[in-house]
Structure 1
């Protein structure tokens, strides 16, 4: 399967006739079996730093359906280091499928109250874990921080070797780490970033500041930040979005979108195209993975439920 594929967005005869829109998707979701999408790239330099430290355990943070926790547990399953996962919220008797997989892969779970979770490295749970495992290496939530952004900068440069002739690249954002790495790489002419978080207007300046830490020369690199495509909040779906995804799945049976990030950025682009407000004719959508997140939704709400992610091929 090719790394870059054309998308069929002819969902209805409403696209402006004066625009010849083309949208292609970079299939980051197929790149890495254990940590697809941006997950491996954010982890790469952290795992190298952990080896330099000689860490016996690698700790990190996430929710009960976290793509990041899933990726960390799967990546470390056959490694010398053990994953120690701080899970937001008290653990329930029946673990989520994501956490069940993590346990099967040898990860250790530590529940954290939401209040303590917000304290991150200053939380009581982290103090207890660090006391128990003094040589633990901590990865920020979502694989963030400068090392996570550095890995994403490497990724953007890798993509650019095959992505030629695009007017713009588009990318969904959670922590903003991937966007900062892409901005720092200076690999694309115009970068559009779509936040999955509600009320994240300040995230744009945070992305720029992190990018400048990696590459001061990128401060004049154009980035357009979209803070109004969250569809009501993180991991929430509007009826209009669900309808769009069902139609998209029928027209693009080989492409599965995740429920939190890439699906919302694509929908926002499509809406802008319908209104004639999208300024680019040839767009590259970066797929950042995360399909396992559908396990947090009822099957009937998943337009891609008849497509098995286990059967996906890696490059």
Structure 2
């Protein structure tokens, strides 16, 4: 069972006399040991659809340190489906820790050339897998698509049930699926989305359009959703999975104050850095903020142990 816990703020965040910030963290990283954070939720409707389709095999895409692939393997090992992972890039003789876990979970690994991988469902490797296996159900990279977002829309109900008195929620973004699902739920207040990808300002429109499609039944206007969405595309700290020297220093300082609330190295570290920086500047416009931890701590295995301040 996940919880909401307070974040200890550095003194610099409270130096402005007119601001008193309260920042709490929804511990999504404590949900579902096999698929923490948003990963389990993004898989749920896909699994329902695979059962409805009477698929015998479920396949998906991801990189060699993918949180989605790791959660996919851990979840599928207890279900009556054959699992396949298309892995971006050539598989090396020494598998990454993430891929080693997938192999132990019984996932069939298919390495993909990067050029072919970018073609997604139109790639040669997808055609080969569909020829080798009957009735394959495909989950988009990162557990995305409408079904993945629907799972995150439901997730917002679980989070809100633990305490809904917040001025804003904060969430990290990769594909934008989680953000769209949360935004589509009328219980969510202002939503600040921090992208971990470089050069993705156009993703805001995709998130907004996607959320509007999901929110139609709730009779929420697109204007209302647009007003509630704040998208930050300039907090990637060098690009996906990259860490600037400033970010590394921030994580060390954060870990001293919040050693029991670890951040992951790709997503939540950058979102938290941006929020606390705004609080230090006195430009964060909210009193009570909820930070959604989306999991991904297994991703630290792709970095030197010396860089992880939470161990």
Fold equivalence (TM over 0.5): yes
1:163-212 Cα offsets, whole Å, 9 max, x none, are: 22211001100000000000111222211111110000000000011111
Of 250, 263, 271, which aligns to 1:265? 271
How many residues of Structure 1 are paired with residues of Structure 2 in the alignment? 305
SS of corresponding position for 1:283: strand
| Corresponding position of 1:164 | 164
CA contact (8 A) 2:13 2:281 kept: no
SS of corresponding position for 1:185: coil
Q: TM-score, normalised by structure 2?
A: 0.95
CA contact (8 A) 1:28 1:38 kept: yes
| Corresponding position of 2:241 | 235
| Corresponding position of 1:105 | 105
Alpha-carbon distance in 2 for matches of 1:186, 1:180: 12
Alpha-carbon distance in 2 for matches of 1:163, 1:115: 45
CA RMSD of aligned residues (A): 1.3
Alpha-carbon distance in 2 for matches of 1:210, 1:102: 31
1:37-60 Cα offsets, whole Å, 9 max, x none, are: 000000000001111111111100
From the superposition, tell whether residues 101 and 239 of structure 1 become closer, same or farther in structure 2 (CA, over 3 Å).
same
Of 290, 299, 307, which aligns to 1:293? 299
* CA displacement at 1:218 relative to structure 2: 4.8
Alpha-carbon distance in 2 for matches of 1:211, 1:152: 11
* CA displacement at 1:17 relative to structure 2: 2.9
* CA displacement at 1:158 relative to structure 2: 1.6
Alpha-carbon distance in 2 for matches of 1:178, 1:98: 22
| Corresponding position of 2:43 | 43
Q: TM-score, normalised by structure 1?
A: 0.94
Alpha-carbon distance in 1 for matches of 2:82, 2:150: 24
* CA displacement at 1:14 relative to structure 2: 6.6
**Ranges in structure 1 where 5+ consecutive residues have no aligned partner:** 307-315
* CA displacement at 1:256 relative to structure 2: 1.1
Alpha-carbon distance in 2 for matches of 1:182, 1:151: 9
Alpha-carbon distance in 2 for matches of 1:85, 1:120: 13
Moved over 3 A (4+): 11-15
| Corresponding position of 1:309 | none
SS of corresponding position for 2:261: coil
CA contact (8 A) 2:28 2:294 kept: yes
CA contact (8 A) 1:67 1:290 kept: yes
* CA displacement at 1:129 relative to structure 2: 0.2
CA contact (8 A) 1:172 1:195 kept: yes
Alpha-carbon distance in 2 for matches of 1:29, 1:67: 12
1:274 and 2:308 are equivalent in the alignment? no
Alpha-carbon distance in 2 for matches of 1:34, 1:80: 17
SS of corresponding position for 2:184: helix
SS of corresponding position for 2:61: strand
1:155 and 2:161 are equivalent in the alignment? no
